[in-house]
Structure 1
Amino acid sequence: MVPSRVTFLRELVSSVSSRPMGSPWILGVAVILTVCLSVCGLEIPLEIEQPPTITKQAPSSLIAFPLEDNFTLQCEARGNPAPEYHWTKNGQSFNPHQDHQLMKEGNSGTFVIPNGRNITHYGGRYRCLASNKLGMAVTEETDFIVPNVPKFPKETIKPIVVDEGQPIVLECNPPTGIPPRDIYWMTVAKSTNDSDKAAAVSNATLLRKPRLMSPPGAETVVRLADGDDLHLECIPEGLPTPVIHWAKMEETLPAKANLLNYGKRLTISGVSAEDDGTYTCEAGNSAGNTAHAFHVIVEEPPRWVRKPENVLGTPGSDVRLSCSATGKPPPTITWMMNGHVLEDLPASHRQILNGELLLRHVTPQDSAVYQCQASNRHGTILANANVMVLNLAPMILTEDKQEYGAMMGATVFLHCRTFSSPPSVISWTKDKERINSVEGERFSIQKDGSLCIHSVQKTDSGMYSCFASNAEGRASISAALHIKDPTKIMEPPQDLQVLKGATANFTCQAEYDKSLRRDFEIRWEKGGTSLSITENPRYIVEGGVLQIVNVSHSDHGFYACVARTGLDQDRAVAQLTVLDVPGRPLVLILAEHQNRSVKLYWVPGDSHNITITDFIIEYEESQWEPGRWKELSRVAGNHTSARLQLHGHLDYRFRVSAVSGVGRGPASEPTERYMTPPSAPDKNPKAIKSEGNSPQEMSIHWEPLLPIEYNGPGLEYKVSYRRRGVEKHWQEHMVKRNHIIVRNTPTFVPYEVKVQARNVLGWAPEPEVFTLYSGEDIPTAAPDDVAVEVMNSTLIRVTWAPVPQHHLRGHLRGYLIQLRRLLDLLNMDHTLKDKQSLTVYGDRNQTQIHGVVPYSEYNLTVSVFNGRGSSPGSKPVTFRTPEGVPGKISILKATNAQSNSITLVWVPPLKANGILTGYLLQYQISDNVTGLLSPRSVNISGPDSAKWVVSDLEAVSKYKFFLSACSRTGCGPAIREDGQTIPEASASSASRSEITHQLVIGSMCAAVIFTFVVLIACFIKRNKAGKYSVKENEDLRSYQQPQNKNGSYGYSDTERRVCQDSLRYINQNGKANVSAESLEDCGESLMDCSESLDDCGDDDDRFGEDGSFIGEYSSCKDVRLGGVRGTAPNS
């Protein structure tokens, strides 16, 4: 005896509540609906025997159109045992396997009908039946329609007799066929005999009240199915011709209603229930009216309200199958079991009531496939429902020991899909030794048994168990849950604006759970599609960087960085905006034509993602410079038109280009030609100026008009001039060139000049008057009151008085200063001829001159110059410069290092700049640890000193020595030399090596002296004993160099004592102490000296007036050839 459902549920609840205290808390749920489980689309595991369930079936109708290759009638089902398939055609058994022309598909009931000649043989209504030992499932019928050519049946057509002038209706009942059908009417022409006709004339007016020839009667009932097309037609007759009016009773005509055939036919395509009602057709004229009513009933084929559902029941329970459908007329509900109508099957426990099938006290024998069929005159629908009656222990369909991963904060489902009869109680536990682990609002069990955990946390990780139990048994599975840190993009890509052809770089960095590093990847997408690096080599992905090389317009769009693992992902989107020069403007139109202007319209091209700032309008004319485009106008980027002002007598074309922040885009296609009429010139020449090639003439020049400014043929100029303030009348000349020479003019007097243009059509406007001057002449007087103020030893200030205008005789251009160095005050016996010219441009009366040689005597003259030339020089002014501080010492060398002393030898400075009084020596010990110590100072008196022994030094110590030359003005810049003392033990050996060292150096010095003697002899032989004049050095470069800010100029001294002291020191008694290192240093120092002179190697001033060689002007290159550095002899 199967217990009642109440007893079963009471036992189920008591078994859960009777668990002992202290055991793990169990969250459980029982599906307490009924003892049987009714689920739409119940899926029973195929491991359990079950009747067939249809999974695929053919449509309700299938039309064999001629262009199709074949036609498939599908039938597939699932069940255990595997179903067998049978077909019926037109209610009779049909076996596709016996027809060799049909193609069958294995393991299903599907077959294919090929499109061939005998395809009409297969037309009919098909139904598939899938069956096994537990039942039979049935599909709906499929109407396979094979269209053919409509044919009228053979019939005897009786002649219709009608009076001429009377209306007649010819009926046509076309044969059925697949719509659309085209219906044509034809007439058979026959001749008539006019001799049999008679005519009568009357003044009477004939009126005839309307009547309907079709349809007959006062009303008609029209039935059609939902979705069909409605056609209502009225054909009236009467005189005058009646007018037809259509209406719908108590409603307006539907919006989709159409009137055809002059209002006689009303059509509504695809009718629905809203189109149901009474429509009237009323025909009327002046004699009366008539009407006809159409009662339109829109019927519907059956439609499901509720399909029967699969039911899993236990033996002894009641099973209720509900089935309801709607339609017009209301469909008839028929129940079947395994394809057989239930009324034909005897059973005392089955009952059909109001469309529901009730099975009482079911047994396993009631397991079957039940069909509910709803039908009316417009169609039939059928639905299957499986009823399974059995007791079954729980089967957990989810795989055991699955592992789930979820990110913190997410919602996770742990699946536990079960099947049992009666239904199972589902419960979940976590970590058997833990209590209250799956309770609370975050945990819930779904209808399918899955455990849902909201907002998961790290503590939710662990092992979970799912238990399913019913009266027949118990089953369980386990699952592991791992909670991971979420993946998060920390450095999302940023929006980029990139020029076309450049490279775009998107950067994307993310954080993720390190346990998922094998699954982690960063993927790039555009428009939801992954970027393919292999298909597009312009994409380069390295790390978290996407590089797009040679960006083009197609790359514009949104790019997504997707950082993902096997459990989650994060994404960030950035936009790439590709910038480029604007596209070419389109559709250029010329409008509003006038004689000298036209309006140009255009459509802007693509801005390429940056604002257009300007439009440049260019023109090309075919007369003067055909093919050359020039800018005519420029308008703001928000304009799309411009009024163009044009010159006359030109054949124009125009084009437009756009400009943005990126650059200028390509030009548009040119417009058609536009010709302007000729006219007089609009303007006169500008930039009129005069030039005088001689004092007695004036050459007038001007900028000629451009050819496009002629405005017509025959351009020439009228030149008018007169002396300002002297002449009243203008002298005029017509010329075609752009200059004219006026002769026999006074020197540098003002003239009024104007130039006017004209062509064959007339004169330009009245020209502007310019004041010009006739030719210049050389100034006749030099500046007066020239004075020199000595500022210091190297700087002087020169002042003068301006030259009166009548002596200037031209436009003042500037002043020329001639500066001559007469004496070196250190060598009074030798006269110098050094000369330099300096130019002061503009109207100035003073300047400063830098770089004069200290302790020297100069004289100076000033002259003025204009465009013609310069005046004679002013009276010479003689002045002397004071002493200055000496220059830097040429050579300093630390030698003969002892344990407590170092010997310093040096060469005097190349530039004494006065009388030497002695030297200042400073030295200090240098220690890497303690740093530099305070220096000691020694004053060395006597200008001829060239050696000094520094004593009282510490052994094995590094020293820095600083030596500077001094005069009565002060001491000059210091030269630095480093030296190091030696240990006491090696001092004696150093003395012995010093003697040997001196012998070697002495021999080398002798060789150097011999070389100098040979060089001097060569020079003497070359120049023999002739006399040469000293060439004055005029520095023309200063004529072109700009002035300093204070109006002064740099000064170059050409008389330098380069090597005199060095040679004197080397030649002392032939006892020079020279080392190899000294020779190298000497060469470097003398080379520096050479670079400081003004081409001293090539200057003719090396020779005196008598042709003799002057040592103090010797080239440094000559000394360098000797390769010698001299040191003081050891005392």
Structure 2
Amino acid sequence: MNLDKQFSVHPENATVWRGQPTVLNCAIGSGPDATISWQKDGGPLPNSNRYHLLKNQLLITDVTDEDAGSYRCKATNSHANRTRFSHEGRLQVEEYPADLEPGILPVSDQRHIAVPAGGTLVMPCPVTGWPRPRLIWQFSQPGERTSELEETDEVLIRRNVDLQQEGVYTCSVEGNSDLFKTFNVVITEPVKITVPPVSKQTIRAGTVRFNCTAVGRPAPTITWYKDGKPLAVAGRIVVLPSTDGKRMELLIRSLTSEDAGVYQCFAQNPTSSASAWATLNVTGVSAAAPTGVQCWPAGARAVAVRWPKVNADVMAYTVQITTPGGTSLPGQPVIGIEEIISVAEPLTPYGFQVRAYIKSSSTNKNVASDMSESVMCQGQGVPIKLARQGDDILVSWKQFADQTPGVLQWILQYKAENSSDEHNVTLDKGVTNHTIKVPSEEPLQVRVLGTRMIPWLHQNLTLVPWTSTTIAIHAPDGGEVTAVPEDVEVTDVKAREFTVRWRCEESELSLETYTYMVCTRKVDGNEECMESRSKSIRIDKLSPSTEYEVRVQARIPARMAVGEFSKPIHIRTQAEGTKRFENLSYTMVNTSALRVSWNSLPDKYTIHYSNELTLPINQWPSVDTVGNTVVLTGLDLTKELYVMVTGYEPLGHSQILNIPELQYWFTPTGVQVTWRGQGPRIVRYSQNLTQSLDLWHTINVTTNSVHISGLEPDLTTYVMVVAPGPSARNQVVNILPRPPDQSSYYLSIGIGCGVVLICLLAAAAVCIWRRRKRSHSPV
């Protein structure tokens, strides 16, 4: 806390025209900011609404002769208990000028103003010029049209402001369109924690949740602290936000003794902050954590974890895995002291911790120990393929490289069998095969390592498997091409183009260069072929909504040799226009979310949605997705909702999907009507539209559905649902006559068929009886 000894800016002597505005400046360094007040001729300022205190400035509008005099400013830092006075500056007032061009006097105002609700909003726009120019004020609320205000003052003041005063204010000089100022005003509300965290006591190895709900304007951000320090959110500790962003739930899994402490949620926006705290007490009989945990890579997607046996009556161990993204994954119980863990991502570091479950001699219950120290390992050892041509062994890992992007470097290792003398060959990230000399009578052991980080993660590679060159296949020598492309697939299908991809293992194990011929043919047309040097190609200039046959052939250009074509596959291109979005539909998820889906191949789409159909589409909220379905959250489903899907390449959009407020279905005794939103409703219905509304049948309900019975099935039913209150919106649905009930028709057919069947069975029984009677009668 301090206040500088000298002012950095003092009021200066100035001469101003009568009737014009003027400004005096004053500034001093202070921490926190000093309180600035002004004095005139050694006393307080005159009580006049023409005097306006701005930040480090005194603005005087419509200067008169009484404003002449000496001015100085007074700076007070109450925290430092210090006060400073500036030098005096003398203001002289002269007669009106003969002519003065209009202009806006520069003042140190804010163009982006945040004002607390109930506070005072001050927007200075002092105008110079003679004759005095007229000032015009305009105001526009968010999403509304601009309107002209009645005020023409050079300082626009709004007291006791609320949300109705939020928006954009503009002052401009009439007849001079280039002279204007704009103020963006946001009304703020202080941060409040409405649901603070509650202190808890939880047993070791359990799960605990702390909730923290905060409101404010702008919406506050919530962060968590433990014992006064920022909480590291990763692994077992995650923060789960609610859909509206107001609640941040702190979730801690697999509790340990170290998790006990004081947890504080801190909510803050640019203008205010608030905090609340709770304590966590971790209980239960203590048990020491396993020590000496180690890990080794055991394959591209496998890690071996080992630990010494705990000197206690251990019932089981669990190995907890922490993913690179910080997600904590508890493992299954293990009886021994070793486990081979399969990881999802190869060449990616994972954290491993071990917990023991020990039988307590005092309580005869299983007690969870604390977690061990975390150790880090990643899968290692790349799957390879070997091919021999003479004394050359081609080692290839192309398939793995294609499936595992982001590798920065490879190391090929080889050694003689029954030897520990390893040789390393470091290769660039783009290399996917390498040839080594290996006489057939002297086989080698080979393996390939990869890394996604530099420097490499230091690991014990004892368990990473080797591959013997004795299993190498023999590469073909000359002659025909035996390679046939496999796993041909068509992806990224659009109306006029698609991508073809395939595999060809034999080409990866060959020293020769392969190319590929990709042929497409309309089911009823000619075949067109294109050559590719890679194992994918983009085919364009296709016809929309057309079925194509696709096949791929391997070639060796140096020998002008070709192989057999792959088995043909069939694919249909997309339709252009709105047909791409056929069967656009929705399903409700909860009271503020729904899932929108459409019948189209997964691709990039933008989903626009709004409760206001008249709003321009570029002002609708939107989300992007890569797929053909998306969940929209944070919706106001108490009103009609409009949804439109936009697709790209080519650009097109769906019809607007109207998601109604009311839905209905027929029941055996009437019709069930449901609506979105909670709270009491007044339901009115009639089957005579010309009838006065006060004569309609009325039902008061407190749920979001109603069953209406006693209706004439051949007439249309008109239903209106109204929420109580003078400004409530009506929700209306017209229910068409009930579809014909065919049950009596089918019942008649069923009864008729049954009677015929009974008659046939009776006739057959009579015939059988007569035959038996004749067989027993004497001849």
Global fold match (TM > 0.5) = no
Pick the TM interval, shorter chain. under 0.3
Q: TM-score, normalised by structure 2?
A: 0.24
Q: TM-score, normalised by structure 1?
A: 0.18
- Point out the structure with max Rg over C-alpha: 1
